[in-house]
């Protein structure tokens, strides 16, 4: 398992040399959101495509 420090190093290595600190912050923010989403899916489970489409159609039909 990679440490947070290893992940940050890998992320920075993938960014272009002329990126700004704001670019780095944004990519770290997105990576953290992805990690939290995966953890939440592991804890709470997920729904299937058909259920997602059913729920989405209820939200958009109003």
Query: Are the C-beta atoms of 11 and 28 separated by less than 8 Å?
Result: yes
Q: Tell which phi-psi region holds residue 20, choosing left (phi > 0), alpha (psi between -120 and 50) or beta.
A: beta
Within a domain: 40: yes
Number of domains composing the chain: 1
- Whether residue 7 is contained in a domain is answered as no
Domain assignment present for 10? no
Assigned domain for 48 exists: yes
Indicate the pTM of the whole model: 0.72
Interval 27-50: pLDDT, tens = 999 999 999 999 999 999 999 999
Does residue 11 contact residue 27 with C-beta atoms inside 8 Å?
yes
29 within domain boundaries: no
Q: Is residue 50 part of a domain?
A: yes
**Residue 55: which domain range?**
34-62
Mean pLDDT for the chain overall: 93
Structure tokens at 58: 């209820």
Residue 18 domain-assigned (yes or no): no
Q: Is residue 4, in this structure, part of any structural domain at all?
A: no
């Amino acid at each position: 398992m990679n440490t947070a420090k290893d992940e940050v190093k890998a992320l920075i290595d993938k960014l272009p040399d002329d990126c700004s600190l704001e670019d780095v912050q944004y990519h770290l923010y997105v990576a953290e959101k992805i990690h939290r989403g995966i953890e939440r899916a592991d804890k709470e489970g997920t729904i299937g495509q058909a259920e997602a489409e059913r729920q989405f159609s209820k939200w958009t039909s109003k």
